[in-house]
Amino acid sequence: MTVPAQPELAFEPEAQPPAPVAAAADALAALRAEVARVFGIGELRPFQEEAIRANLAGRDLLLVLPTGGGKSLCFQAPALVRRGLTLVVSPLIALMKDQVDGLCENGVAAAMLTSAQETDERRAVHAALERGDLRLLYVSPERLAVDGFVERLVALGLAAIAIDEAHCISHWGHDFRPEYRQLGRLRARAPGIPLHAYTATADERVRADILSELGLVDPLVLVAPCDRPNLVYRVQPRRELSKQLREVLERHRGEAGIVYCISRKEVERVDAELRAAGFASVAYHAGLTADRRKRAQDDFANERVDIVVATVAFGMGIDRTDVRFVVHAALPKGLEQYSQETGRAGRDGLAAECVLFHSGADYFSWKTLMERSHEEARAAGDEPDATALERSLDRLGEMRNFTTRFVCRHKQLVEHFGQAWTTPGGCEACDVCLGEIALAPDSTILAQKILSAVVRCQQRYGAAHVTDVLRGAETEAMRRTGHDQLSTYGLLRANTVAEVRAWIDQLVGQDLLRISGDQYPILVVSPTGSEVLKRQREVVLYALPVARPKRTRGATRSGPLDGASDAASGGASDAAASSADPALFDRLRALRRALARERGVPPYLIFNDRTLEQMATSKPRTVEEFRAVKGVGDKKAADLGPAFLACIAGEG
């Protein structure tokens, strides 16, 4: 393993500055210069700067920063200017490898220690540690359990510990990992070493759990605004999934995307349909062999395929920055999962589309799976946590309500995570605010018809049966139950099954109808639903979403996030992005793929799409002009500049 040479130290904690304030200012100035030199990032966002100040000061820290907001830069940048080693704890080998490769591409001395490495490679890393050559070392939580490992790093000059994906330590979180619990012993094993926790999603309960479990002392807690303004959210009832899915993919033909399915069987079916329709897709789920999963990941990261069809097993550690769409083919398990999974789109700050297709059956599919898992654990002799099941079902209910409440999607997500929505008017980046959802005419009368049908069926039947009654279905079930004689029979004959089911789902989401029963769910009218029947309450219902044309890149209500793709940032204005030479942009992408193959790294580690768009807009002709493009550091300018300048000049 070759470790890049270290730059001269710009900041040494043991030096005696004339004044603490001046020393802090000097350290931050030195760090800014290094970030510009190494990563080509000229400015830090406010939350990044606050986190980095705390990091340099040796203070414990918890930072919650949304995906694409530059979280990793907050522990990578201080390592450039601080004497000693920064230890980074990360849950997945793929995540570690991605960040280490990216750092090495930028000339930063970084390495990882994993069980997947060959003996010679691990030996080389240990030798680099002994020589003091490394700035950052990435490890898994399991490696920290090895006797003497942490103590050895302390003896070798450990300066700080960064815990990435810190929400994994919390029982309250959506991605709890038992191995993260042992990180609570780090304080005793590395006394005096500052601990820094980083995550993209953590509500107040999860944040409290992280602080408690890690034993953070007088920490700075920073919670950045969680909104992702470059993401366009759309939620639609699932009718003909294959057709609906192809409509989304056609809007993004040739672009990268992820399609999440609820089961392995569905993954295989959807992937086969997409490949048959001419899309470059690959399947990914936990039932595949490790080799097939790794190959699927590599094919997607290296742009050999555009689309991954996956269960939720896919995602963490996938930092491809140019994901232009994320589709959920069924209801996710909770808003935390939904936020994290949709957050994999638009990491470069450019506009991306997030579409959720759902039906009432999804809720019960997840509920059944959760309860079955709980019972299987009990049957195996374990004592499952009943409150954990209750929390999971609560999160699932919140997710269902998100789909049936026709309120600005961005506003709902922001408020779910305990933050205030301060944007006046609409977000201009969701189906509700874009006017893609129309009011159903005579909503209150429509609701009364549906609620009345439930009552006439004696509140003993499910949504499918009630829908058949309202639509006047001529079935054996109608004749057998005598429900073809009800006064509500055929009241909505002119409407489709999809429309009636969508309205029932909306009534459930507004707590006008409730679902009772487990094995055979039935509809019952709630107290507020009774008020509607008595004409004491008005109702607003929405028609099925109207199809809209594809939104153009950058057409969101605010610009890109600085620090996109964590350590690598774009920063071109939306206007600049839209004026990029499309033919040149395509040539630059082709060059990026070729160079990535030569170097054995994913293309996005060469440059992200936003940096390429700036090149295709400004068309630099000299090394100095090329170096001025955001996202181009010194090492990349020297290594890659000649090839990209030749391509821009039309010689490539």
Residue 48 lies in a domain: yes
Average of pLDDT values for 519-542?
A: 91
Whole-angstrom distance, CA of residue 126 vs CA of residue 140: 16
Can you give the pLDDT at residue 390?
Answer: 86
Average of pLDDT values for 261-272?
A: 93
Please indicate, yes or no, whether residues 238 and 209 belong to a single structural domain of this protein. no
Please indicate, yes or no, whether residues 125 and 270 belong to a single structural domain of this protein. no
Strand, coil or helix: what is 543?
coil
Of 30-34, 278-282, 364-368, 444-448, least confident by mean pLDDT is: 364-368
Query: Which tens digits make up the pLDDT trace of 350-383?
Result: 899 999 998 877 887 888 888 888 888 888 877 7
Residue 623 lies in a domain: yes
Can you give the pLDDT at residue 17?
Answer: 38
Please indicate, yes or no, whether residues 358 and 504 belong to a single structural domain of this protein. no
**pLDDT over 50 (residue 236):** yes
Can you give the pLDDT at residue 323?
Answer: 93
Residue 435 lies in a domain: no
Average of pLDDT values for 31-53?
A: 91
Query: Which tens digits make up the pLDDT trace of 390-400?
Result: 888 888 989 98
Q: Any idea what the CATH number is for the domain that residue 161 is in? A: 3.40.50.300
**What phi and psi values does residue 159 have, to the nearest 5 degrees?**
-110, -30
**pLDDT over 70 (residue 2):** no
Please indicate, yes or no, whether residues 167 and 190 belong to a single structural domain of this protein. yes
Helices and strands counted in the chain (H then E):
26, 15
Can you give the pLDDT at residue 478?
Answer: 96
Average of pLDDT values for 535-548?
A: 79
Whole-angstrom distance, CA of residue 147 vs CA of residue 86: 19
Whole-angstrom distance, CA of residue 588 vs CA of residue 595: 10
Closest C-alpha among 632, 630, 614, 625 to residue 554 = 614
Q: What is the 3-state secondary structure (H, E, C) of 330-356?
A: CCCCCHHHHHHHHCCCCCCCCCEEEEE
Please indicate, yes or no, whether residues 269 and 214 belong to a single structural domain of this protein. no
Query: Which tens digits make up the pLDDT trace of 73-121?
Result: 999 999 999 999 999 999 888 889 889 999 999 999 999 998 888 999 9
Asked if 170 and 136 count as a contact pair (C-beta separation under 8 A), the reply is no
Please indicate, yes or no, whether residues 216 and 239 belong to a single structural domain of this protein. no
Average of pLDDT values for 521-548?
A: 87
Please indicate, yes or no, whether residues 390 and 462 belong to a single structural domain of this protein. no
Please indicate, yes or no, whether residues 449 and 366 belong to a single structural domain of this protein. no
Residue 69 lies in a domain: yes
Can you give the pLDDT at residue 16?
Answer: 39
Biggest CA–CA distance in the chain, Å, is 92
Please indicate, yes or no, whether residues 178 and 262 belong to a single structural domain of this protein. no
Residue 557 lies in a domain: no
Residue 176 lies in a domain: yes
Please indicate, yes or no, whether residues 46 and 145 belong to a single structural domain of this protein. yes
Domain total in the chain: 4
pTM reported for the whole predicted model: 0.77
Residue 630 lies in a domain: yes
Please indicate, yes or no, whether residues 153 and 285 belong to a single structural domain of this protein. no
pLDDT band at 548 (very low <50, low <70, confident <90, very high): low
Residue 539 lies in a domain: no
Average of pLDDT values for 576-601?
A: 85
Q: Any idea what the CATH number is for the domain that residue 480 is in? A: 1.10.10.10
Query: Which tens digits make up the pLDDT trace of 140-176?
Result: 998 988 889 999 999 999 999 999 989 888 866 666 7
Tokens of 116: 């997947």
Can you give the pLDDT at residue 176?
Answer: 76
Average of pLDDT values for 251-255?
A: 92
| Average pLDDT in the chain | 86
Sheet containing strand 307-310, strands side by side = 231-237, 352-358, 323-328, 256-260, 307-310, 281-284
Query: Which tens digits make up the pLDDT trace of 415-471?
Result: 998 888 988 777 989 998 888 888 888 999 999 999 999 999 999 999 999 999 999
Whole-angstrom distance, CA of residue 611 vs CA of residue 618: 11
Where helices occur in 409-553 by DSSP H, the ranges are 409-416, 443-456, 463-471, 476-481, 497-509, 527-533
Residue 594 belongs to domain spanning: 574-648
Q: Any idea what the CATH number is for the domain that residue 633 is in? A: 1.10.150.80
Please indicate, yes or no, whether residues 213 and 241 belong to a single structural domain of this protein. no
